[in-house]
Amino acid sequence: MAQKEELARKKEEAPEIVKTEAEWRKQLSPMQYYVVREKGTERPFTGEFWDHHEKGTYKCIGCGEELFTSETKFDAGCGWPSFYDAIDKSKVRVNRDTSHGMIREEIVCKKCGAHLGHVFDDGPKPTGLRYCVNSASLGFEKKN
């Protein structure tokens, strides 16, 4: 029975959108591919959105899913875009990440599986969370 439950859980976690690596490479820049597909991290204070202050919606670069808004963005001083909440937590999947000798919580787009960054519990109220996201994993739609 446990095996069946595990298979059901894994099926539930599978992204809705599946692309070949060739399709991903065609769609994404080399830096976006490195971050989104290889779980890389852009250098702090270098990404397009770390010091971005326009009003609007931040979307997954892989599939266009709306993930964060400028209303929940804050300056965490870490060099990456930081948000204290997602638009809808069901759109972001959290996975345990034990790479680099640390235990962290990786965040990925649930719809396409794109690596976004990590979530930490050192953010501001009201959630106390800090979604630390790579700019390379995001697109932006300005709000008029």
Going from N- to C-terminal start, the domains of the chain cover 2-142
Superfamily of 2-142 according to CATH? Peptide methionine sulfoxide reductase. (2.170.150.20)
Question: What's the whole-number mean pLDDT along residues 91-115?
Answer: 89
Task: Band the pLDDT of 24: cuts 50, 70, 90.
Answer: very high
The whole-number pLDDT of residue 99 equals: 80
The pTM (predicted TM-score) of the whole model is 0.87
The whole-number pLDDT of residue 4 equals: 46
Rounded-to-integer distance, Cα 60 and Cα 95, Å: 17
Counting residues of the chain whose pLDDT is more than 70, the rounded percentage is: 90
Rounded-to-integer distance, Cα 30 and Cα 18, Å: 19
Inter-CA distances, 141 with 47, 80, 86, Å: 16, 18, 16
Catalytic residue among 63, 109, 112, 132: 132
Question: What's the whole-number mean pLDDT along residues 112-140?
Answer: 96
109 a catalytic residue: no
pLDDT in tens, 60-86: 999 999 999 999 999 999 999 999 999
